[in-house]
Amino acid sequence: MTLPPDLRTRRRQPELMDQPGLDPAEHRQALEALRRVNAFSLGSRAVWPQVQAFCRQRAAMSPGEAVRLLDVASGGGDFAVRIARRARREGLPLEVSGCDVSPFAIQHASEQASRAGVEASFFRHDALTGPLPAGFDVLTCSLFLHHLDPPAAVALLRAMREAGSLVLVDDLERGRLGWLLAYAGIRILSRSTVAHVDGPLSVEGAFTRDEVRRMALEAGWSAPEVIPRWPCRFLLVGRS
């Protein structure tokens, strides 16, 4: 039986999907694996009540004015597409965009939106090298924070706080159960060898709730809220 390593200390290691030159077929298979994991873990459903409440408040204050949402480091786009689909179903005026540093991921995300029949736009942007684009009300980020060293994570959280009125960060929480779920679950959900390697590594590089709260405070968030959620994840919420 495979046992998890000591997870009391964070161990961030390079993941296969982050490496340049990854075979496009393997990259696409790994993105599909992430889509299945996100569907199973209900990431978009966890943030939706916050987005829904913001949209309804905006509609009450400024009827007819759309809320603009940016999904930072949007990857394969499934998170943003699910939010766009939910907004369309409920008739809420929400304009969804996503940005990512990978041109391959942007192309894949655009294809996902087209197949889903939703209006979600994706563009290339490196969220770690400069300010985030202006003009957005809600900023989301799913399963990206654990890829970063603490200084870069703090910088990203600061940039998101400065760019939007509502910030929602959904990510893994480091722990033994989360590691076991990642190891076993990804093998059930996908045949991607890249995902099989990266899943447990992601948990080893993840933050705890206390660690992410401290980083949010360091980034200038006035009252960060860290909500634990199943399976072994957290939702970090910031409002301005």
CATH number of the domain bearing residue 161: 3.40.50.150
pLDDT number for residue 126: 96
Region of 117 please: left (phi>0), alpha (psi -120 to 50) or beta.
left
Could you read off the pLDDT of 47-61 as tens digits, one per residue? 999 999 999 999 999
16-45 pLDDT, tens digit each: 577 777 777 887 777 776 677 766 666 678
- The per-residue pLDDT for 155 is 97
Q: Token pair of 55, please? A: 């949209």
The count of structural domains within the chain is 1
Average pLDDT value over all residues in the chain: 89
Structural domain of residue 62, as residue ranges? 23-173+208-239
- Tell me what percent of the residues of the chain surpass a pLDDT of 90: 60
- Residue 55, domain member (yes or no): yes
Residue 234 lies in a domain: yes
Token representation of residue 74: 């949007």
14 inside domain: no
For residue 101, pLDDT beyond 60: yes
Does residue 45 lie within any of the structural domains? yes
222 part of a folded domain: yes
Token digits of residue 230: 């199943």
137 band by pLDDT with thresholds 50, 70 and 90: very high
Residue 83 located in a structural domain:
yes
* Stronger pLDDT, 30 or 231, i.e. the higher one: 231
**143 within a domain of the structure (yes/no):** yes
